Amino acid sequence: MTDMEQRLQGKRALITGGSRGIGAGIVRRLAAEGADVALTYASSPDRANEVVAAVAALGVRALAIQADSADATAVAAAVEHAAAELGGLDILVNNAGVLSFASIDDFKLEDFDRTIAVNIRAVFVASQAAVRHMTEGGRIINIGSTNAERMPFGGGAVYSMSKSALQGLAKGFARDLGSRGITINNVQPGPVNTDANPENGPFAETLKDQFNAIPRFASVEEIAGMVAYLASAEAGYITGSSLMIDGGFSA
């Protein structure tokens, strides 16, 4: 990054689920653009600390906070911890999420409840806590999914529902927060090359060949780039939106 690209210099960001995959990519991108960053992780402190060390080498403040997003109290406490350590909060990225696939006959109630807790309730709890620390120019960015718009195979109903809920949440919160100069938007990725969903995995060729208009997976960096844009001053007139970055999966 050049000095001209330090769009987030002096900003303070919290990224939930930031120790791996898309979340880690977002942490790295926001830090590269000058933001101080905090991330949460549910387990694997070694991975979280590796991300923190990497971005701290860029000269920004960075910290990792253990918090299971299924625990509402832990989520709220993580926001307070991040705000206290960073001296405030300007950007919240609600990235933590879970994915459970099963048919209607086989879907377990405990998996349903955890999906709601992590993918919806944690977003509400973190956002409610974060806006108490935000001033004009604050940004909330939720990582949704293209499956909020299109679920072309069986077993994904509950996941799709949880990501669709973020669309309504963003629209409603946009009305609550617009007069305060705080924006909220969803980024809705399609298939992304991560450890959990590798581009050479068993279902990958079907996704690329049958569902995507662009026959490849996205990189983590591409998703992080959209998040960084929404976090910047350039995106100050975008709110309540759900923005696709899915290679035409939903086209």
| Residue 191 to residue 69: CA distance in whole angstroms | 23
Distance CA 171, CA 185 (A): 8
What's the CA gap between 50 and 73, in Å, rounded? 26
Closest CA to 222 of 196, 194, 195, 249: 194
Q: From the candidates 41, 159, 229, 237, which is the catalytic residue?
A: 159
Q: How far apart are CA 170 and CA 157, in angstroms?
A: 20
Q: What angle do CA 193, 117, 93 make, to 5 degrees?
A: 50
Distance between CA atoms of residues 92 and 115, nearest Å: 20
Q: Look at the block and give the residue holding tokens 């996941």.
A: 159
- The radius of gyration computed from the CA coordinates of the chain, to the nearest angstrom, equals 17
159 is catalytic: yes
Report the catalytic residues.
Answer: 159
